Structure 1
């Protein structure tokens, strides 16, 4: 079942890639009405969260799956993950120098991998406790720390992607990566911990796969329901509209699309929000729930036919290469005087990702960046590229 399991997980990663591409290509708001677009309502916040949860699953499988390794083997795994984190961060820094409106996630992924190192040797029960506590408490910590950062770190956030020049402002870089940026890793570590927990389960078994779908749907729906109740029935939204950010931004619409960049200060009611990229407990629970459900569905669909989702799973097996190509292609597209039709651009991009993925799959090869990253990781883990 291992091959089938990995096929389903790769398919989920492929869905995350396509979802992120959609949010980069299609407008998130209707230009005429200002209403959220279907792309925003379906993918905003959820695609990137799925990407992060699947990354945590990958770390769990890399370190023994349902039977985590220990001792020297675990130490080697940790060294390999650290090198993998370094390679991903370097790719992110390189892409950060491109002229693009995309909020590039790779540098943050590298940091998240490093932060996950203390957890990769844990079994499922202990991981469950850590994941639950992190989802509940990391947004509270962020809420308490951010006002101090806004007041004492100038600027308190980067206005662009992270590049080598960002290291010239270490305080701003640290604040942005940890708390104030588009992907605050203190809260986003929740996704990797949930992914690690999922990866410690026996993912090849039918009850686990069905359980992921059911639990994911309940968590996602429950988080939204509780948020709506607190904001609309208990007066939370009125309190938020009275804050500085509430008077500045159209919060009602932004809560459906993207709250990144909105200063969540002045009221504890911010923690009742479940909008995309708000980084609250209910946002983390909702987006992680949708991710778990997607993973479960992909595992179920590939149980009997591992290649049923081949266009997705093949692309999902080389997302570092394909994501990097996508960011570069979008930087070229953004520079054109007449932008291409978003629908055409998306389907061309999706077909290219699937086609490239399938080609490498049939050749039995990893993507170019995956080869380099895997080779460096194996060299550090085992002292040889063969892993022996």
Structure 2
């Protein structure tokens, strides 16, 4: 393992990544709702469905944007040859993460693996890395507002014209490279993490990462702004959908005519094709992909990050159980997906609680061990070395700051 440059890491950011990892694992293992017609009881959301669904993956994506901002100079930013070198290094990072995602796509799991989309988001972020804060803020607001509208208009066309089935129907894998147009349509529009809207999270993260995150004033500002965004988005969605008739309108559409729609609306809207009504864009439900969903989950991500930064700047040791796994999320996420594939393939009789807590404890233990030893995670070490080497070659000198 290569040594991890701990002095250059911000423990609060790693802790927030750890929370995202553990939250995503929870949504992969626990049901998002219980009951339903098949069980003869009313369907009700679970704790995982109400708390983690949509928010954990959004936190993961926002923190990716924060990481990109830090890789490109943080609050000061890099320009000129330094920025070109950063972009080259990030492109290599994206290709390698995408390769890991494509390999994991062949694992037999009922998990929507995020890594291919994550990699494409890195590539889509490249043009925005050199923007000044006001311009970046404008792009972020505009993208969050307009990308759901573009997706609403383009998704039916993609489903009707790109391929006979319209969607992959599974996680992207190496075999899907043979049908590139279907793969691209699924990654950008019809998949579980549509890049067209999810770029909003990366831009929010870039915006956050351009702040001086070690300053208490900026941490408090982030906490306040995140709270206002999260609460305001839900309040506006309630006004549109409950008081102005939006929910009744979408519930009457063809895709919503299913017995469990009411609970799905609360826990995971990616299971419903949102079409036939513009009212879908007023929802802040998890994975609905509308502007208010993007705003709410960006707000909750900002709140989690702000709290972690505030705690980390005062009681850093308290964050060790989260910061350890948060510093090697790619390795631990990949190991989690692989292990879930083993459990599925072999049909291991493990209860969900045992399955979650055994992996969570192992993730925390491994993270803290690697952190104490000054190591990176294995995948992080390989990708960081390749990225840093590329940056050095492009910059034309032996070492770059940041």
Give TM-score scaled by structure 2 length. Answer: 0.93
4+ residue runs of structure 1 moved beyond 6 angstroms? none
- Per the alignment, do residues 52 and 206 of structure 1 end up closer, same or farther by CA in structure 2, a change over 3 Å counting? same
Question: Residues 301-354 of structure 1: CA distance to partner in whole angstroms, max 9, x if unpaired?
Answer: 011222221010010000000000000111111224353111122111111001
Corresponding pairs, count: 387
User: Which residue matches 2:120?
Assistant: 111
Residue 9, structure 1, aligned to residue 13, structure 2: yes
User: Which residue matches 1:350?
Assistant: 360
Question: Residues 263-292 of structure 1: CA distance to partner in whole angstroms, max 9, x if unpaired?
Answer: 111111010011111110000000010000
Q: Any unmatched runs of 5+ in structure 2?
A: 1-5
- Within the candidate set 212, 232, 246, 2:242 is matched to 232
1:174 Cα deviation (Å)? 1.4
1:157 Cα deviation (Å)? 1.0
Residue 158, structure 1, aligned to residue 168, structure 2: yes
Residue 30, structure 1, aligned to residue 26, structure 2: no
- Within the candidate set 84, 95, 117, 2:104 is matched to 95
1:294 Cα deviation (Å)? 0.2
Paired with 1:252 and 1:295, the residues of 2 have a C-alpha distance of 31
Asked if structure 2 preserves the Cα contact closer than 8 Å seen for 1:139 and 1:279, the reply is yes
1:141 Cα deviation (Å)? 0.3
1:335 aligned counterpart, secondary structure: helix
Paired with 1:275 and 1:4, the residues of 2 have a C-alpha distance of 37
1:103 aligned counterpart, secondary structure: coil
Paired with 1:190 and 1:339, the residues of 2 have a C-alpha distance of 40
Paired with 2:169 and 2:379, the residues of 1 have a C-alpha distance of 28
1:127 Cα deviation (Å)? 1.0
The CA RMSD over aligned residues, in Å, is 1.6
User: Which residue matches 1:330?
Assistant: 340
- Per the alignment, do residues 321 and 336 of structure 1 end up closer, same or farther by CA in structure 2, a change over 3 Å counting? same
Paired with 1:4 and 1:89, the residues of 2 have a C-alpha distance of 26
Greater CA deviation, 345-354 or 132-141?
A: 345-354
Greater CA deviation, 154-163 or 59-68?
A: 154-163
Question: Residues 45-84 of structure 1: CA distance to partner in whole angstroms, max 9, x if unpaired?
Answer: 0000000000000000010000111000000000000000
- Within the candidate set 41, 53, 59, 1:44 is matched to 53
1:366 Cα deviation (Å)? 0.3
User: Which residue matches 2:3?
Assistant: none
- Within the candidate set 164, 174, 180, 2:190 is matched to 180
- Within the candidate set 229, 247, 250, 1:219 is matched to 229
Greater CA deviation, 376-385 or 265-274?
A: 376-385
Q: Any unmatched runs of 5+ in structure 1?
A: none
- Within the candidate set 201, 211, 214, 1:204 is matched to 214
Residue 246, structure 1, aligned to residue 256, structure 2: yes
Question: Residues 167-200 of structure 1: CA distance to partner in whole angstroms, max 9, x if unpaired?
Answer: 2222211110111110100100000000000000
Asked if structure 1 preserves the Cα contact closer than 8 Å seen for 2:33 and 2:263, the reply is no
Paired with 2:150 and 2:181, the residues of 1 have a C-alpha distance of 18
Greater CA deviation, 227-236 or 247-256?
A: 247-256
